[in-house]
Structure 1
Amino acid sequence: FFTISTHKMSSIADRNDGSIFDGLVEEDDKDKAKRVSRNKSEKKRRDQFNVLIKELGSMLPGNARKMDKSTVLQKSIDFLRKHKGKCWNQGSKITAQSDASEIRQDWKPTFLSNEEFTQLMLEALDGFFLAIMTDGNIIYVSESITPLLEHLP
């Protein structure tokens, strides 16, 4: 039967005389610090992911009930697939694709194309369209912005 008092163990571990115990204590502290840092980084990443999922979920059409993350992602994928091909890039301009089904025909005069009707509506509503890339470059500005800027785009 052999006993070691905790007081003696702590005094051995607390020694700072260059013994082998000092190396073990320092190694444990380093591991603990790495683990704490990694846990903080992971928590920050998870929190950011949750904020983005919540924002994405609030933008989705449909019922307002709380959706789990996989449902939000699935509905987002479904929405993007449904709307894929609605716009296409023409050189430096992005143009909305106009299907006959997109604009109700009883609202549009038959002698106007969908593009002409869309432009007239933008002008009548005193609105404009501005397309900006994520790097800040302006890639398209509708002509209806001219009166607001008081110069040509």
Structure 2
Amino acid sequence: MERYLIAAVILVAGCAAPQPAAPAVVDQQQYTQAMQDGVARYTWPDGRKPDLTVLAEKSGPGPDRAPAGSERIVLEMTNACAWYLGWEDARQRGDQAAVSRALKVMDEVLPTFSPEDPDGQRYARETAAKARAGDGTQAADYVTANCDSVLWR
């Protein structure tokens, strides 16, 4: 009888243990609002601010639901697009102050994005180093792969 009682206590104790919470999810409206709330955390080069309505519509969950926080990743990627494009724009204009500002963000800010993605951080550091050396191919590759759906204002 004691064995059954001990087994029952262990079983009940196991059931009472906190269960991991299910990840929070958001619908399109919540996603759009989170994106609008989050955009102010980023700096943007002149002429390279995303149209958030279009960005949220194209990147959001649509009729489905998305993990809460997924808008942060989209904003980080879009911000990287803006700075890579802003750097190239400034180089073509011969605007050395804007080139320096873009390189500073590429060196110091973009590699801090997505701490859960060390490969992405390494890519950002490599892209910044190449850009500083005058090689824009990696920045251009990033833009080609990630930025075609962004409408800039």
TM-score for both structures, normalised by structure 1 = 0.30
Q: When you count helix as a share of all residues, which structure comes out higher?
A: 2
Q: Which has the larger radius of gyration?
A: 1
Q: Which has the higher contact order (CA 8 A, sep 6+)?
A: 2
Q: When you count strand as a share of all residues, which structure comes out higher?
A: 1
